[in-house]
Structure 1
């Protein structure tokens, strides 16, 4: 057991970078049939777009492959597991829950699997939430529904109280399904487990509708969210085409990262302006959105604008905004702001405008997972159980370069993943929209 931090770029070690903690030596034969994964990490080559600030460009890092091991740390028949879901909804949460339960019970014969209700609150006695017993029968069809069968909540809870609850419940392994804040909570829980010298495995399954978990190219539920967003964009395009000088304005989720806006834009090729938090834009003046929109309507008579919810915050003042229960800064409504400013501009210019504003955010995150995400979630859930049974801890299961791997929790909690506005992906988005690069301001591509 150890409690450590991932090294920075200045003291980069390609082996230490991906080293996974363990609660103890694995000596118990597994009941799961082979083939088995070995314990020797494999190299992965990194470039600037997939390593960001975590490793030097052109480095190789060594990561453990995910999958069953020949030897386990825990005696499967005596193991009690717990699952908790935290933060906002996301397509596929129920699929991950189901996969964990099925693998733990059918694959390993675990003694029981507990479902912690309403996020980390479910561990706190004062919140008085009951614990659910999860069985293969009780989760058999939950993947048909969106949301989470366990419920969720936002906001921090005391790691000491959580570990107290794990001890009271005699839990051997905890699976935390959540986003950036939830992975930080999982890391804090592991820190308290380590401090007390307990043998409890803590495994994270990263979940974020914004696709902003560090070092993970694509989170589960992202494809499903993009599918739903694309349906909304088609409707906005139809509305815009239906009138002269028609504009469809759509606000999509994306507090600090514009991946949903960018990917849904690329998926259809009907968006003319995409606005993301990573690329500040001007409203007025040369290359500003209002002037460029006016030119677009003069040429084609219609336009579609997509704005991530975190875009344009620099245009709406620097006053105190407060934070939500998770500690995230509260955002001003960029959709309502743009709608008002666009209407004002065209009225001032004496030009006709027929603008339809659509905000589908909660629809996008509450749908059931699509087929690709269901397959993805199944692998994540099963690999999480394999990792925990082998005694691994303080880690997440992730898909990296088409391989399922183990990543240290300190790596994925270091920062939020953001669009690289100087990379090839963002260039492709701009090529799809045809919007003027001058709109991007100081982050413009060179």
Structure 2
């Protein structure tokens, strides 16, 4: 079989713009002479070994144009753990199927997979070029200023928190704990600070996994809210842990890098009730926080499309073993450019919130974070009326 195919594979959890990156990559490839087939692996890397592929050349333009506005992963994804031998088999499976160019879209784990497939091809003499497309709502990929997927999750988190703050303001009888996704990085939790754009207040406290969580200090903060306001909204990360590394709420299950966290928000709400004798409730947006198209950031969508296009250009130029990244040029006005980063610089290298973005008490964010994050969210959030 002639090696003229370009293949896109997705890994890890979906985001609100992973399909936008897919659209950019596919559209660029379909319009580039010399690319024979433009394919997608269905269900992640398993689609490669099983030969379960979709040919985008046979998909209608109307359907392709829906991709930037479709949630989840249109070609599926996976978190399948791989061993050394698996990478060599993947390289040969790609070769057998006539794949000349491979694009891997995902987060830290997928970039590790991307780099190992690239090495397996290079060291095994398999003529396949490989490039990574960043994707993660957690925003924890190294080197790049931010990753596609984060801004939409941040916009969702800010908007959802604004509605909760408005509700609590109307009926100030309890402490509400809102839990956000983010294993070791608190970027999404931190973005809840923009709930104050609604005009009815923002979260009173924000706790991030970058700082050790002290239950006594939390209870003191909660008591202050009760004494001063009679209510409060607290945003926490699912990955909160004590100084010794012990999770605030023990994980329900851990499989490889995938952790099924316990309900931190429910644990802390129960703590307020039992220790302070005050009403409390928990809210956990969960998967909707990464899948919501209704709160998709237009900045995120356009950057995701751009990353897909740039990845296709890079791989077709033979600039293999790279990941497309975003370099910020200015905040006001917001301006960025796409760069190509050696994949080995980002493989499983986790990027967390820097100290200058977290306040001194570790229960909120700084103006520096707000300046960095705000341009990514897109238009201001809707404003709400309140007379209380």
Q: Identify the residue that residue 223 of structure 1 maps to in structure 2.
A: 151
Q: Which position in structure 2 is the counterpart of 1:344?
A: 274
Q: 1:242 aligns with which of 151, 170, 174?
A: 170
1:356, distance to aligned residue in structure 2 (A): 3.2
- Check 1:418–1:227 CA distance in 2 against 1; reply closer, same or farther (3 A cut): same
- Residue 10 of structure 2: aligned partner: 85
Which of 304, 319, 323 is equivalent to 2:254? 323
TM-aligned CA distance change 1:234 to 1:372, over 3 Å:
same
- The yes-or-no answer on 1:113 pairing with 2:35 is no
Alpha-carbon displacement from aligned partner over 1:82-126 (angstroms, at most 9, x marks no partner): 00011101111111111111111114452111110111111233x
1:155 positional shift? 2.3
Identify if the C-alpha distance between structure 1 residues 113 and 431 changes in structure 2 by more than 3 Å, giving closer, same or farther.
closer
1:19-34 maps to which residues of 2 (within 5 A)? Answer: none
Q: Based on CA coordinates, which of the two structures has the bigger radius of gyration? A: 1
* Equivalent residue, structure 1, for 2:89: 161
TM-score by length of 1: 0.72
Instruction: Supply the distance in 2 between the matched residues of 1:97 and 1:207 (Cα, whole angstroms).
Output: 11
Partner Cα separation in structure 2 for residue 292 and residue 83 of structure 1: 48
| 2:21 counterpart residue number | 96
Gaps of 5+ in 1: 1-76, 433-446
Q: Deviations over 1:393-434 (max 9, x none)?
A: 11100111222110011101152001122x2x22394457xx
Aligned residue runs from structure 1 range 430-441, under 5 A:
430=365
Q: Which residue of 2 aligns with 1:420?
A: 354
Q: 1:78 Cα shift?
A: 7.0
Aligned position for 2:316: 389
Aligned in 2, Cα 1:320/1:227: closer, same or farther, shift over 3 Å? closer
Please state whether the residue corresponding to 1:378 is helix, strand or coil.
helix
Tell me how far 1:371 sits from its aligned partner.
1.4
Do the aligned partners of 1:211 and 1:218 also contact (CA within 8 Å) in 2?
yes
- Change over 3 Å in CA distance of 1:373–1:90 after alignment to 2: same
Q: 1:156–1:185: 8 Å Cα contact kept in structure 2? A: no
Superposed counterparts of 1:31-110, under 5 Å: 79-108=4-33, 110=35
Shift in alpha-carbon separation, 1:320–1:149, aligned structure 2, 3 A: closer
Residue pair 2:25, 2:312 contacting (<8 A) in 1 also: yes
SS in 2 for 1:248: strand
After TM superposition, the score normalised by the length of structure 2 is: 0.82
Q: Deviation per CA, 1:26-77, whole angstroms, max 9, x where unpaired?
A: xxxxxxxxxxxxxxxxxxxxxxxxxxxxxxxxxxxxxxxxxxxxxxxxxxx9
Q: What runs of 5+ residues in structure 2 fail to find an aligned partner?
A: 329-335, 368-388
After superposition, what is the alpha-carbon deviation per residue over 1:258-314, rounded to whole angstroms, capped at 9, x for unaligned?
A: 001112224536111111111112112xxx111221112211222110001101364
Residue 377 (1) aligns with residue 304 (2): yes
Preserved CA contact (<8 Å) 1:123 1:161: no
In structure 2, the partner of 1:133 is 55
Structure 1 distance, partners of 2:251, 2:174, is 35
Match of 1:411 in 2: 345
Check 1:317–1:346 CA distance in 2 against 1; reply closer, same or farther (3 A cut). Answer: closer
8 Å Cα contact 2:157-2:191 kept in structure 1: no
Match of 2:77 among 148, 152, 161: 152
How many residues in Structure 1 have an aligned counterpart in Structure 2?
Answer: 342
Which whole-Å deviations, capped at 9, do the CAs of 1:342-377 have from their partners, x for residues lacking one?
111122xxxx42x23211120111123431112101
Instruction: Tell me the distance in 1 between the aligned counterparts of 2:249 and 2:263.
Output: 14
Instruction: Give the equivalent residue in structure 2 for 1:439.
Output: none
Report the alpha carbon displacement of residue 168 of structure 1 after superposing the two structures with TM: 1.1
Does structure 1 retain, via aligned residues, the 8 Å contact 2:23–2:64? yes
Partner of 1:312: 241
SS in 2 for 1:119: coil
The match for 1:143 among 65, 68, 71 is 68
Task: Give 1:200's match in structure 2, choosing from 118, 128, 133.
Answer: 128
Distance 1:100 1:265 in 2: 33
